[in-house]
Amino acid sequence: MIRISAIDVFPLRLPMKQSFRISQGTVGTISAGAPHIYVRITGDNGVEGWGEARPSPRWSYETPESVCSAVSNYMRPALLGQRADDLAGIHRMMNRELAGSLHPGQPIAKAAVDTALHDLIARSYGLPVAALWQTGSSHPVRLSYLISTDSPEEAARKAREAVAEGYTGVDVKIGLNPANDLDIVAAVKQEAPKLFFRVDANQAYRLTQAIQLAKGLERIGVDVLEQPLLANQLHGHAELRRKVSIPIALDESVWSPSGVLEALRSEACDIIVIKLTKMGGLRGAKLCGEIARESGLGLLGGGLTESKLGLVASAHLFRYLELTDPVDLNGPMFLKDDAVEGDWPIRSGEVILPEGPGIGCRISESKLQDYAADAT
């Protein structure tokens, strides 16, 4: 039995090499960097586990300040002294301290704690984190190349880069300027006709616009349209599905196993986007993925531009779930550095997973200091 003896929170501001926008606005810039919070949990056996939260207030309501407060002021008092290897019990306690309403309360903060505990438990056993799930999967984890611009010329240039760098999929963010979305998508298709093609609207459309958009995307040859309507519009997405044939994926609409079931009952999507952060960590994301798969839904993987720590944790899960289409783990495309030692574990658009114990990332104490930020 391993008990939790310390929980430490490290708010960071990581440097970016390119700014990143979605339809709701900017989520990180070269001048200001991006907020990431690392969480370290130490067991009474002396082993440390690490997890990451990457709040994006333009994507959902959590902020760097709310993550630090949630972990330091609510979870830490409840979890110190508890069994680190009782993940079901830990999640019950976290959900009691920060209750959910329409969806689980503060899932990004809980994800950092959940990930750190998976790391701690697996390290204590001397095993890679995926061994906790009794899997022998060696499925490749391929990445999509993310394109976020309102210029068709820039989109075409990035699509050429994606092909040249060996990526097998692209993800185009639309809704930044809806008037030229189809021009951007067509420019990418022309330069990368064979790549898996995912288009993510991040809730930018209303139903009548989305029907027109989806028909245009079908003509161009897009493989999936993600979250065209507001997160709470399951019936709108169901109506859209009845009118068009392009597969519809839900991301911001689905945060939990009950959300997967509600989307299924509403016939609102063909595909669920699995993300460790929004689903409260590896445990919730794994459960959502398994329920969706057993129910006949497709799965796509994604992230919120986490640094290498969150990226590798997600990649372990996506390998376990054997996701076939390229996943959105795009932190390295935007971040200049993070607090993990070593190079980016990516070659030709594929994540090279570490084989060491736990998640497999070593954290640099000096970089934690270099990138320390105030989040009070």
> Which position among 251, 306, 325, 338 is part of the footprint of Mg ion (CB under 5 A)?
251
| 286 belongs to the catalytic site | no
Query: Which of the stretches 7-15, 68-76, 198-206, 236-244 binds Mg ion when contact is defined by CB under 5 A?
Result: 198-206
**What is the distance between the alpha carbons of residues 234 and 185, in angstroms, rounded to a whole number?**
25
Closest CA relative to residue 38, chosen from 57, 12, 65, 7:
12
**What is the distance between the alpha carbons of residues 44 and 163, in angstroms, rounded to a whole number?**
49
Catalytic residue among 158, 275, 278, 308, which?
275
Query: Which of the stretches 9-17, 76-84, 193-201, 304-312 binds Mg ion when contact is defined by CB under 5 A?
Result: 193-201
Query: Which of the stretches 22-30, 247-255, 275-283, 317-325 binds Mg ion when contact is defined by CB under 5 A?
Result: 247-255
Indicate the SS3 state at residue 289: helix
| 275 belongs to the catalytic site | yes
Q: What is the largest CA-CA distance in the chain?
A: 59
Catalytic residue among 110, 158, 173, 189, which?
173
Closest CA relative to residue 98, chosen from 80, 137, 72:
72
First-to-last alpha carbon distance for the chain, in angstroms, is 34
Query: Is 161 annotated as a binding-site member?
Result: no
Query: Is 86 annotated as a binding-site member?
Result: no
48 half-sphere exposure, CB direction, 13 A CA radius? 12
200 scored as a contact of Mg ion (CB under 5 A):
yes
114 scored as a contact of Mg ion (CB under 5 A):
no
Instruction: Compute how many residues bind Mg ion; rule: CB under 5 A.
Output: 2
Which residue is it, tokens 């984890």?
141
Q: Strands 144-147 and 298-301: what pairing?
A: unpaired
Query: Is 226 annotated as a binding-site member?
Result: yes
Nearer to Mg ion, 114 or 200 (CB): 200
306 scored as a contact of Mg ion (CB under 5 A):
no
Judged by the rule CB under 5 A, the positions of this chain that interact with Mg ion are: 200, 251
Which residue ranges make up the annotated binding site?
200, 226, 251
Q: Which residues are catalytic?
A: 173, 275
Which residue ranges make up the annotated binding site for Mg(2+)?
200, 226, 251
